[in-house]
Chain A
Amino acid sequence: MRVIRHLPLTTLTAAIAFAGQAQAQTEITVGTVNNNDMVIMQSLTDAFEQAHPDITLDWVVLEENVLRQRLTTDIATQGGQFDVMTIGTYEVPIWAEQDWLTPLDDLPADYQIDDLLQSVRKGLSYDGTLHALPFYAESSMMFYRQDLFSDAGITMPEQPTWQQVRDWAEQLHDPANETYGICLRGKPGWGENMALVSTMVNTFGGRWFDMDWNPQIDSPAWQEAVGFYVDLLNNYGPPGASSNGFNENQALFSRGNCAMWVDATSAAGRIFDPSQSQLGFAPAPIAETPKGSHWLWSWALAIPASSDSKDAAREFVTWATSQEYVELVAKEKGWASVPPGTRVSTYENPHYQEAAPFADFVLNAIQGADPTDSTLEPSPYVGVQFVGIPEFQSIGTQVGQMVAAALTGETSVEQALQAAQRATERTMQRAGYLD
C-alpha cells in the first residue's frame, strides 16, 4: 500500500533523473557505406560508447550511390541530419571549397597526425588543411594466379606493362575450361569502369582536360588506351564483361576463373587465403608513363558544418581513425581485418605484415599515387581516376556508358570517344569552363 502511494512520486523522480541523464547524452548520427570495414566499425559501437559515456552513436548505413545522393542533398541544403559523414577523396576538396565541412586543424597530439600516409593526407586536404580523416584507403594493383603463371613459364617482373599483360592474357586464355586471360571492370559508372579506364588513359599518356579545360577525350592517347582496353577484354576477358564491376570480378577471381585481375588493393584482404598460396600480387601495369597508372581513393570521416554536435563528432572521427582503433580491430577481429592504407604504423607492425603479405604492394601503390600530378602532360585538376570538379560525376558516368557501348560492340571505339568528347564539351560549356 505504502509502495503504491509513493509510486507516482517515485516514477516522477525516476523520470526526472532519466531526463537529466538523457540531456547529458549527445547523440550523433553517422552516415556510412555498407563496406566490410565500416561494418566492423559499426560493430565496435559499444567500445566507443563505453570509452565516451556521454556520446551515443546512431548509424545510417546505405549503399554507396544512395548514400552519396543522401549526403549531398543534406549538406547542400544545410539539413543538419548527419554529424559524421563518410565521404571520399572526390568530395572532400569540392565540399571544403564550399565551406560545407568543418576543418580538422586542431587535432589532439595523441592522434599522431604525422603517422597518416602523406598521399592520403594530401587527398583529404583543402588549402593545406585536413577536412576529413581517413578511415581506409586504397589504390589499384594486379592480382594473378601463380599456378597458371608457373605452368606457362611466365615470371612476373617487378613492374609489368600493359603490353605484357596482353601477351600473358593471350597465352593463358582458356575459355573451354572457364579460365579467362584477364578480368577488368566493365560496368559503366565514374567509380566503376572509368576508375580503371582513367588510370589506363593516364599511363598511355592521356588526360581528361588540357590546362584550359578543353576535353581531350578524342586524343590519340585516349584512342590507344580505350582501344587497348576494349580489345583486351573482348578477346581475353570473361563473357558479359560489360556488366562486371568490383563484386562480380572478385567472385570470378575467387573461383579461379581469371588468370589476372587489376582492381582495388582493398580486394587483397578479401581474396587472400593463407591456406592457399597461389595468389600473386604485382603493381598495376604501366604503358607510356608510370604517372597515374594506379588510383588513389580513401573513405574518410568528415564533420559537416551544419552539425549541432561538432565536439562529439570530432571525438568519434578521431577515435575511429586512430592507431588505438586499429589495435582494437586487430584485437577483436584479427590483424587481417584492420582498415588498410591510412597509417604508417600499421604497415610497420610485424603482426600486420605477417597477416597481410600483400602489405608492401598496397603501401607502395598508395604512396606512389599522386593526385596532384597524375598525367604525363600538365592538367588543371586534382585526382588520379577522377577529376576533382562537381561536374565530373555526370561526365564520368556518361563517358563510362559510351566506353561500355564500345565494349559491347554497339559502337566503335572512335565513335564512342567522339560522342564522349562532344558530350563533355557541352557539359563544360554549360558549367562555364569553356566559352
Chain B
Amino acid sequence: MTTARTKSLSGAAVPAVQRSPLTDALLNRRLWLTVLGWTVAVLIFFPIFWMVLTGFKTETEAIAEPSLIFSPTLESYAEVQQRAGYAKFALNSVVVAFGSTLLALLIAIPAAYSMAFLPTKRTKGTLLWMLSTKMLPPVGVLVPIYLLFRDTGLLDTRTGLIIVYTLMNLPIVVWMLYTFFKDMPKDILEAGRMDGASTLQEVLYLLLPLTLPGIASTGLLSVILSWNEAFWSLNLTSSNAAPLTAYIASFSSPEGLFWAKLSAASTMAIAPILVFGWLTQKQMVRGLTFGAVK
C-alpha cells in the first residue's frame, strides 16, 4: 500500500487520508454512475434545450446549419403572440388537464380500493382488460366517438375533452393506485374498522392520508399526459375548447419557414407544465418510489 502525501496550503507535507481499495472502488463506481446519470439526463433534455434555443433564432437561422452562436431575438415570440391568443388555449389546457385528472381520481380511488382490499378471482383479469383498452390505436375509434360527440353536442367543448381524457387515463390511474393501495398493510384498515369506521371514513381518514404521495404522483402523471395529448384535442375541438396542443399545431406548415415560430409556440406551451413538474418533483419522486423500500 502506498502512502499518499499532499502539500498543505502552507507548503508543509501532510499525510493524505488513507483509503481502502473498497472505498476507492465505491467512489469510482459512484463517479461512473454520476457521469452516466448526467449523460442520460442531458440526452433526454437536449431536444427541449434545442427547441428553446431555436425559439430565439430567426427563421433563416433556425433552418440553417445547427449553431450555438447567434444573436437572440424575440421576433418569433412576438409573431406567435400576435397571431394566436395564447391565454385562451392555455386556460383550456389547464381546465381540461386538471378537470380530467380530478374526475379520473374520483372514479379510480373507489375502483382501486375495491380491487386492492376486496379482490375477487376476476380482479387480475379486470385490471388486464382495463389496460388492454390502451392497446387500441385511438384513430380506430375516432369516427364512433366523433358521431357520439356530434349527437350529444360535446364537439368543441371542454366537457367533451375532459370525458375523453378521463377515459384515456383511467386505466393507468387505476393501475397505479391499485399498486399503491396493495402496498398498504391491511391491518391498519382493519384496526380502523375495529374502532367502528365506515368504509368512507376508512378511505378518507386512513387510506388517503397514508397513500397521499402515491395519489399525488398518479395525479401529476395524469395531468402531464392530458396536457400533452394531441390526437383527441386536434380532432374533437375547433375554436372554443382547443388546448395548447392545437395552438402548437397551428404553427407548422409545409410551405414557408416555421421552425422558429413553432419552437417559440412549443416553449410557451410546455412552460407551465415544466414549471409545475419542477415544483412538484419531490412529490413525484416520493410517489413513484412509494413502497419500493420497506
Q: How many residues of B contact A (CB 8 A)?
A: 29
The answer on a CB contact under 8 Å between A29 and B150 is: no
Docked CA distance A316–B258 (Å): 27
Residues of A within 8 A of B156 (CB): 81
A247 touches B63 (CB 8 A): yes
A82 CA to B250 CA in the complex, in Å? 16
B196 within 8 A of A: no
B258 touches A66 (CB 8 A): no
CB-based nearest A residue for B247 = A61
Output the least CB separation between A15 and chain B (Å). Answer: 21
A58 touches B239 (CB 8 A): yes
Question: Could you tell me if B254 and A247 are in contact, using CB atoms closer than 8 angstroms?
Answer: yes
Q: Answer yes or no: A39 CB below 8 A from chain B CBs.
A: yes
Which residues in chain B, 222-247, are within 8 Å of chain A measured between CB atoms?
234-235, 238-240, 242, 246
Say whether chain B's binding surface is mostly helix, strand, loop, or mixed.
loop
Give the chain B neighbours of A21 by CB distance below 8 A: none
Q: Which residue from chain B places its CB closest to the CB of A35 in the assembled complex?
A: B255
Residues in A with CB closer than 8 Å to B256 are 35-36, 247, 250, 270
Q: Would you call A61 and B147 a contact (CB within 8 A)?
A: no
Which chain B residues (196-213) contact chain A, with CB distance < 8 Å?
A: none
Q: Which of B60, B63, B142 has the most CB of A within 10 A?
A: B63
Residue of B nearest to A138 (CB): B255
Please tell me if the beta carbons of A31 and B143 are within 8 angstroms of each other in the complex: no
Assess the B83–A42 pair: CB atoms within 8 A.
yes
Across-interface contacts of B250 in A (CB, < 8 A) = 34, 60-63
Do the beta carbons of A36 and B255 come within 8 Å of each other?
A: yes
Pick the contact of B249 from A36, A62, A192, A255 — CB < 8 Å?
A: A62
Assuming the A-B contacts A62-B249, A79-B155, are A247 and B147 also in contact, with contact meaning beta carbons closer than 8 angstroms in the complex? no
| Known A62-B234, A70-B235: A77·B255 in contact at CB below 8 Å | no
What is the bound-complex CA distance between A225 and B235, given in angstroms? 39
A29 touches B251 (CB 8 A): no
Contacting pair A246 B254 (CB below 8 A) = yes
Would A66 and B234 count as touching, CB distance under 8 A?
Answer: yes
B238 pairs with A29, CB closer than 8 A: yes
5 additional contacts (CB under 8 A) given A34-B258, A63-B250: A43-B83, A58-B238, A62-B246, A77-B143, A77-B146
Chain A positions within 8 Å of B, measured between CB atoms, are 29, 31, 33-36, 39, 42-43, 58-66, 69-70, 73-74, 76-82, 191-192, 245-248, 250-251, 254-255, 264, 266, 270
| Chain A to chain B contacts (Cβ below 8 Å), 12 pairs | A31-B238, A34-B258, A35-B255, A42-B83, A62-B234, A65-B254, A77-B150, A80-B150, A246-B255, A247-B254, A247-B257, A264-B255
**B residues with CB within 8 A of A:** 60, 63-64, 83-84, 142-143, 146-147, 150, 155-156, 234-235, 238-240, 242, 246, 249-258
